Structure 1
C-alpha cells in the first residue's frame, strides 16, 4: 500500500465521516457528498490506486469486484430494474477530481445521454 493518502483513504480508515454502505477487505462504498442523481454511490479500492492508468494486470479481480459490488448496491438501492450508470473518470480531461480510483454508481431517474455531441 502506498504511503500517500487521499480524502477517500481517510473515509476508508474512518478518519473522515461518510455514509458507508458497504466495506470489505478490498473496497469501500459510500454515498457521494455532492450527488449527481438521487442515488450516487462511490465504490473505492481500499488501497490507493490514483487512476485507471495505474492499474496493473494483477488488479483484474479488484476491478471485477468493484463492478459486482456496484450491481449489488444497485439492487439494494432499488435502481437495478429501471437502470443505472457506472462511471470511472480518469485524470483531468476525464473529470477525475480525487486522485484515488473510484467507480460512480448513479441512478434513480433518467440520466440522458452520456455525452452531449456538438451539432
Structure 2
C-alpha cells in the first residue's frame, strides 16, 4: 500500500523526473513534465506530473501556491491544444487507496483517441 501523506523520492515518477528511468517526453518546462504512458489505456494516453514533490491532488491543493495550481492546469490545456485533441479527452487523477492511486506523486492522465465510455461501469 502506498503512503500518500509522505512523499517518497524513490517513486517511479521522481525517478523519471531525475532521468533515472527513460520516458517518451511529450512536453516539458520548468514546472511540469508530460510523457507517454507505458501501458496506454487509450490510443492517446499521457501522464502529466509536476516537478515539485506533491504526493496527491490533496497535497497539491493544500500546499501549492494558487498561481502554481492555475499554471499547472493551464499547461494541461496547452498540451491538449499541442496534441490537437479537438474531439475530446478525459483528465483523471486518482487519490488514495479507494481512488486507485498507485504512485505517491501527483499525476494526471490525459486519455483520448476513441470514445472512452462510462467513467465507472
TM-score range, shorter chain: 0.7 to 0.9
Residue 94 of structure 1 deviates from its aligned partner by 0.5
Structure 1 unaligned runs (5+)?
none
Answering whether residue 104 of structure 2 is matched by residue 99 of structure 1, we say: yes
1:65-104 matches, within 5 Å, as 65-79=71-85, 81-104=86-109
**RCO comparison, higher one (Cα < 8 Å, 6+):** 2
Match runs of 1:10-89 below 5 Å: 10-55=15-60, 56=62, 58-79=64-85, 81-89=86-94
Q: CA RMSD in A?
A: 1.7
SS of the residue 1:21 aligns to? strand
SS in 2 for 1:100: coil
Normalised by the length of structure 2, the TM-score is: 0.83
Alignment partner of 1:109 out of 98, 102, 114: 114
Distance 1:21 1:4 in 2: 23
Gaps (5+ residues) in structure 2? 1-6
Q: TM-score, normalised by structure 1?
A: 0.85
Please give the secondary structure, in 2, of the residue aligned with 1:110.
coil
| 8 A Cα contact 1:45 1:62, kept in partner | no
